[in-house]
Chain A
Amino acid sequence: MNGDVLLILIVVLPFVGSVLAATFRPNARNSEAWLAGGVALACLILAAIAYPAIVEHGAIRSESEWLPTLGLNFTLRMDGFAWLFSVLVSGFGFLVVLYARYYMSPHDPVPRFFAFLLAFMGAMLGMVISGNLVLLVIFWELTSIFSFLLIGYWHHNAGARDGARMALTITGIGGLGLLVGVLLIGHIVGSYDLDRVLAAGDQIREHDLYVPALILILLGTLTKSAQFPFHFWLPNAMAAPTPVSAYLHSATMVKAGVFLMARLWPVLSGTPEWFWIVGFAGMASLLVGAFFAIFQHDLKGLLAYSTISHLGLITMLLSLGSPLGAVAAIFHMINHATFKASLFMAAGIIDHETGTRDMRRLGGLFRYMPITATLAMVASAAMAGVPLLNGFLSKEMFFAEAIETHAKSVLDTSAPYVAVLASAFAVTYSLRFIHTVFFGPKPTGLERQPHEPPFWMRFPIQFLVLACLVVGTIPALTVGPFLHTAVISVLGPNTPFYSLAVWHGFTLPLLMSAVALVAGVVLYLLLNGYLNRSEAGPPFIRRLQAQRIFERVLVVLSWKWARSIEARLGTRRLQPQLRLLVVAAFIAALLPISLDDLSLTSLRISEIDAVFVLIWVSGICCAVSAAYQAKYHRLAALILLGGAGLSTCITFAWFSAPDLALTQLLVEIVTTVLLLLGLRWLPKRIEEEGPKTVSLGTRFRRVRDFGIAVAAGGGVGVLAFVAMTSPVPLETVASYYLEKAYVEGGGKNVVNVILVDFRGFDTLGEVSVLAVVALTVFALLRRFRPAADSIAVPDQQRMQNDFDEAEPDRKVGDTIADYLLVPAVIMQWAFPVIIVLATYLFLRGHDLPGGGFVAGIAMAAAFILQYMAAGTRWVEERLRILPVSWIGLGLLLAALTGMGAWLFGYPFLTTYSQYVELPTVGATPLATALLFDLGVLGIVVGATVLMLIALAHQSTRGLRSARVATEAEQEEA
């Protein structure tokens, strides 16, 4: 078969199987097992087919384009080492499926289980045969996810949930670290292709980013392989169904970490950093795992800690940086998988048959299940490193390496002693496993009578134990060639000579083995009594559980801190939000000054007039007081706002912009009046309740807010000032208009010329919008119903009316009529004057300050004054204003003027200007723009007055509804 197809099939088959498996009926145990077993077997066969090619060429590759923009290809690559793992993964997968068929109860929803298991197998296979580091990381994370789902399979069990979550949290974090590490490697090498990375060892080791990359990658591998200090998730993951533990926690998932370390061993190892980090983690796991394993009561807990210890052994071998160490590490990976998987399955059978995994409740099972017991004993012996079993061989190699000096240091010197001690512990816990479970008195209080499991459930164990025996006795003939292929693919030309013989003569390692065996047995005899009485966990430090610490840290970090951050920063109240926003902007603006050497050099204060400063100070005072009064006294705030606006007007005038000043002034007046009218209909402000005294905290808050406001406002002001006083860049649009206004527009008032000529189209748009706005305001206010509390007659009017009623010679309404009588009369008289003024402003607009807009506002002001002076009714009885007609005519006029240009073959809104001699007036500028301007005037007057009328009519309507309300009350009474 073509290598391409073969590799892709190996990865794809399990996933396809997984999808299929998910569709089966919940209780289809048999068909699920057939499917899953078939898939696993197919993968195994595919791997077997690939073997000759691998031996011949070293590796087979499959490459297809995937993400060319990132330079990533979908590369699969199977060399000897990857092959070895593919066989382990698919072979063990097959055995576990077989075992699981009998292990799962008919009530378990098996489709989910087998679907996850197959998907996990696919991810694991993908991981080992990835030819690209990114692909590898992806499959790596997939194994984390599917192991999470598998561990949490029995989700009604709280232990399973927490175990699954913790496993995913730890391995997930590690995976992200690995991802960044891989990114760094890719950055160093310039490619993620495994072949290129493996060839760039020196380049990587010499790079500045070597240490960060190494630490991040090790974070991934050590978490995955449950190495100290990340070991604690593995015992918690024992809540998983036993087939899962047998598969994930012996042969596959936890091996992924050491697999990757071995995979990258040629490029990463051999440096002091590698030696220290990996060596320390390995040695600590070796010792701590073995020590803790002794004190477990849960069978699977014991096996889990033993796994940590054995993986520590492998890690330590890899840390040494010697080729022989790497050979031993790879060999032990195989051996450990073999005996540990069989032990997990045996533990599962025991659990299945007796209903408990607590070693204190078990005993004497040998008489019920002699075959299983014998198998478990052989496997335990392999775990303890008893000669003639596979565990012994790799342990001998380990001892031999431990004696060697690799890098002179405390770690290296202590290695042999630690090795012997850990091996002694291994003997102790293996012995305990066998002795307490299979020998001694019969168990009491079991739910059912234990017996041998079905043959096919036991078959995987038999097979594996047989492998232990065969490998242990004739290693060179069985595992030898495969191991050699794997070793060569990792070490390449550096592959050392090694011997797989059982007997090497009387050597130091043999002596160490003997010492460990004897010491282990002695230790067990000493501890036996204690162990059966004690609680789980090693003495003294059982309270110090890494998993507790982890959980505590997680809670503090992720819940308490997170909530307090949110409580501090994530307020839901608008005021603090605004405050934060302003402060953030202020600091953001302040930073450039403090961080850089930039400074406000262009701030020039010398040319400033004292009077001008005074105007501004009063303007600022007005603005600040307006802000201060905004909550407590709206009327005052509004008037003060007008004052601030006035100082702006004067500023415009001061800087020789009379037209702007005029416009600003009139706009100020009109808006203030309209706002005043609107104010009447706002709900009443909230009265201050409670005592007048203000607490210290409130006082502080006010002062602080005042400070913030002053700082931010001042900052904005200073910036604007600097910007405006700094020299003008050479080219601006202003100079263009200044030059062309008279020549082409025929007017000296540049602003007006721009409005009605250069940007006439814009103006047309703007006035149209103004018209629309006015109509909208009118339409909205027509339907507006004031809030209940603002309908009533205002206090002042009521008091005046009461006064009128009290006085015999006065009628109700007299005082109101008398109120402000003189100003009212003046305002009425001012009406024609203002109209004349507006006309004047309009006519001179082309050359001098003025124009249609200003004139329109002035005229509107005249109407507003009438309404204010005499009241709505009085005005409307005497004056027919048709604002809508004003608007319509204005728009029409403006548009027609624009279209007039078409008659003469010019584009829309082209103006024609000419001076005409008028009798008595003299030369008067007369441009077609003037007509356009007249249109603008009409619209401005109409719009403003329309809004005014809409507001003013509220008062009549409000009174009417108030009257209706009181009448209704009276009727009721």
Chain B
Amino acid sequence: MTPELYSSLSLILPELIITVGALALLMIGVYSGERANNTVTGLAVAVLLAGGAWLVLFGGSGQAFNGAFVADPFAKLMKILMLIGSIVTLIVSVGFAKAEKFDKFEYPVLILLATVGMMLMISANNMMTLYLGLELQSLALYVVAAFNRESARSTEAGLKYFVLGALSSGMLLYGISLVYGYTGHVGFQQIAAALSGSERQLGLVFGLVFVLAGVAFKISAVPFHMWTPDVYEGAPTPVTTFFASAPKMAAMALMVRVTMTAFEPISSDWRQIVVFISVASMLLGSFAAIGQRNIKRLMAYSSIGHVGFALVGLAANSEAGVQGVIIYMLIYLAMTLGTFAFILAMRRKDGNVEQISDLAGLATTNPVMATILTILMFSLAGIPPLAGFWAKWYVFLAAINANLYGLAVIGVLASVVGAYYYLRVIKIMWFDEPVGGFVPMAGELRLVLGVSGAFILFYVLIAGPIGRVAEAAAKTFF
């Protein structure tokens, strides 16, 4: 092996571990048949942990494969977040899988493959890697969205996501080819160099628009958000958990990287776009969430809104802004995983329930669950001193320091509206007449809910170190 190949391989070793693991698990699943689900899930978690451990302990930095792949502090941090999302998704699926006949070994394998795709997205340093990673992730997601083949809603969700996703992939590819056509390069650094050297061309702006549109679809930012509520509602809840956590991390990382490296010289152009989708996402996410009765749909709109908030940080186009995005995504991950662990625990004797009205009087029937969900909801609403407040704090601060006052004001207005519907959930839990409790929570859900609740509650104590880590990661681009 040439030294170059060797160093490249050592940089992508975490990805390799997970890829090989996924294929091996597929074999194990195929040969041991129906009964293999638990083994495969357990092994999948182990594989993800192994990949993550390698990343944390030995993950180097540098470029691999002639600059197609990059490993840097930003990628490392985002990968860790994303891996947490994947691991927790697998863990919380276990109980659901048993109860809802969801136990097929393909599920963990697909999650692993999607994870590899997302890791590539995060580390993409040219348009080809970007597209390959994105497609690997998307293809796995199309399948898991439709995973419950017995359910019409699930298949519909999968099909919708596929059709819309294919369209957006097409846009992305079209944008990439335009960018290549005008700059002659696919590598991010080379594109940036070509852009800063020449005057701005219209075709290139189109390319930028389409590339961002393709990525915006993946982070479900308005106006490319339409699939989100349907998929969140239709897909089995563990799958929704996955959709809401890991892919958001990866796609947001991708968004940051593309704008901060490849399109850095034309920041005035992309900032307009980012400001627009940020405002639109915040407003739509907040207003449309109010009318929801299904808690998964509510979380879908909430995720749209939160993506809008995170983009406020990106719009600032500053180190503090990127730091804000990272912290926002980190905190959002914790809140989302906690909330979905809760949703998975919304079980009565005759199955899972998903309506917000099913939460009525939970404070009486199950005060601990109600208290943690209250903390989560207050945090999602951004009420201090919970973690969600700090997330917003960082991005708004970055926006104000970048003189984006209008954006900050709209953001605050949107969070006021948002607070209203989170408050409604709290009110229903604490003040409405009880409609019957849930069955006791499974151990793994307890763990996830407890950890995320504690993280959110005590974030204020560990905010310093986390801020420093995020700062180091944000320095990658400056």
Contact = CB atoms under 8 A, between A and B. Distances in A.
B383 A172 contact: yes
A165 B405 CA distance: 30
A558 B202 contact: no
A692 interface: no
B229 A570 contact: yes
B427 A581 contact: no
Contacts of B463: 66-67
B273 to A, nearest CB: 7
Interface residues of B, number: 75
Given A161-B431, A592-B206, A580 B200 contact: no
Given A152-B430, A155-B430, A581-B168, A592 B202 contact: yes
Nearest to A65: B464
B396 A180 contact: yes
A599 to B, nearest CB: 7
A913 to B, nearest CB: 24
Contacts of A821: none
Nearest to B430: A155
A189 interface: no
B401 A719 contact: no
Interface centre among A160, A563, A574 (most CB of B within 10 A): A574
Contacts of B455: none
Interface string A186-228: 0100000000000000000000010010000000000000000
A597 to B, nearest CB: 10
Interface in B289-304: 289-292
A746 to B, nearest CB: 24
Interface majority SS (helix, strand, loop, mixed), chain A: helix
B284 A565 contact: yes
A578 B164 contact: yes
A545 interface: no
Contacts of A566: 287-288, 291-292
A571 interface: yes
Interface in B259-297: 269, 273, 284, 287-292
Interface centre among B323, B405, B420, B470 (most CB of A within 10 A): B420
A723 interface: yes
A126 to B, nearest CB: 10
A627 B178 CA distance: 25
A152 B467 contact: no
Contact of A581 (B223, B405, B468): B223
Interface string A912-956: 000000000000000000000000000000000000000000000
Interface string A563-576: 10110011110100
Interface stretch (B57-65, B95-103, B180-188, B351-359): B180-188
Contacts of B15: none
A714 to B, nearest CB: 14
B400 A184 contact: yes
B124 interface: no
Contacts of A600: 202
Contact of B167 (A558, A563, A581): A581
A588 B203 contact: no
A180 B181 contact: no
B263 to A, nearest CB: 14
Given A180-B412, A578-B167, A588-B273, A141 B160 contact: no
Contact of B230 (A141, A169, A572, A732): A572
Nearest to B300: A570
A729 B183 contact: yes
A593 B269 CA distance: 12
Interface in B415-429: 415-417, 419-421, 423, 427
B440 interface: no
Contacts of A726: 181-182, 201, 203
B390 to A, nearest CB: 8
Given A152-B431, A184-B400, A719-B178, A580 B223 contact: yes
A934 B417 CA distance: 66
B203 A559 contact: no
A588 B209 contact: yes
A546 interface: no
Contacts of A173: 416, 419
A559 B291 contact: yes
A936 B324 CA distance: 51
Contacts of B202: 592-593, 596, 598-600
A723 B203 contact: yes
A498 to B, nearest CB: 37
Contacts of B205: 592, 596, 598
Interface string B145-173: 00000000000000110011001100100
A176 B412 CA distance: 7
B226 interface: yes
B385 interface: yes
Given A569-B288, A593-B202, A731-B184, A70 B223 contact: no
Contact of A176 (B159, B378, B416): B416
Nearest to A158: B431
A183 B223 contact: no
A177 B203 contact: no
A407 B184 CA distance: 68
A402 interface: no
Given A165-B427, A168-B423, A588-B213, A581 B203 contact: no
A138 B384 CA distance: 5
Nearest to B171: A585
Contacts of B378: 145
B174 interface: yes
A592 B266 CA distance: 13
A175 B409 CA distance: 14
B385 A142 contact: yes
A965 to B, nearest CB: 25
A463 interface: no
B427 A732 contact: no
A558 B417 contact: yes
A589 interface: yes
A585 B213 contact: yes
Given A67-B463, A161-B431, A561-B287, 10 more contacts: A138-B384, A141-B385, A141-B389, A164-B431, A581-B167, A581-B217, A589-B209, A716-B174, A719-B206, A731-B184
10 contacts: A65-B464, A70-B467, A172-B383, A184-B400, A558-B290, A562-B290, A574-B164, A577-B227, A598-B200, A726-B203
